[in-house]
Amino acid sequence: DWSSDVCSSDLWFAITMGTGMISILLFKLPYNGAWLYWISVAIFALDVFLFTLFFSISTVRYICYPEIWQAMIKHPTESLFLGTCPMGLGIIIEMIINVCVPAWGLWAATLAWTLWWIEVVTSIAICLYLPFIMYVPACIVDFISLANY
């Protein structure tokens, strides 16, 4: 069913990437008036809310239906959106550094640093794990089919 695929896909993290980029662009505009700053903060808050919502939905989805994880990993296009989760987190980290650290101090910097390490670990894991899972079974199948000739 297409509605269950669309409503519970990792594709939604691409929305957090775009929303976060809008907040960064508004924050970094050279005509940085106070009103642009507050609009960027509001969009940043929306981005954090969306990321938290989508992450929660994805977590519940994979906990309640663990077989979906394997189906998603082996899907030729949906598995490629797995990297949008750490990318969206990286954009949130950028705005934490831009907005929260100057306003809230050292604990926000520690939060950003911790989230950055989480992003690094998940990005490396996806970078190394996903191609291996996608291509190794295909190579095994090819070797088996070659052995039959």
Tokens matching residue 81:
């959106």
Three-state DSSP state, 13: helix
User: What pLDDT does 36 receive?
Assistant: 92
Of residues 121 and 70, the one with the higher pLDDT is: 121
CA distance 108 to 54: 23
Contact 83, 124 (CB under 8 A): no
Closest CA to 17 of 75, 110, 86: 86
Q: What is the pTM of this model?
A: 0.81
User: What pLDDT does 23 receive?
Assistant: 95
pLDDT tens per residue across span 60-106: 988 998 888 888 887 777 777 888 999 999 999 999 999 999 999 99
Q: Where are the alpha helices (DSSP H) in the chain?
A: 2-7, 13-28, 34-64, 67-74, 84-95, 101-104, 106-147
Please give the average per-residue pLDDT across 114-126, as a whole number.
95
Contact 20, 91 (CB under 8 A): yes
Tokens matching residue 128:
């190394």
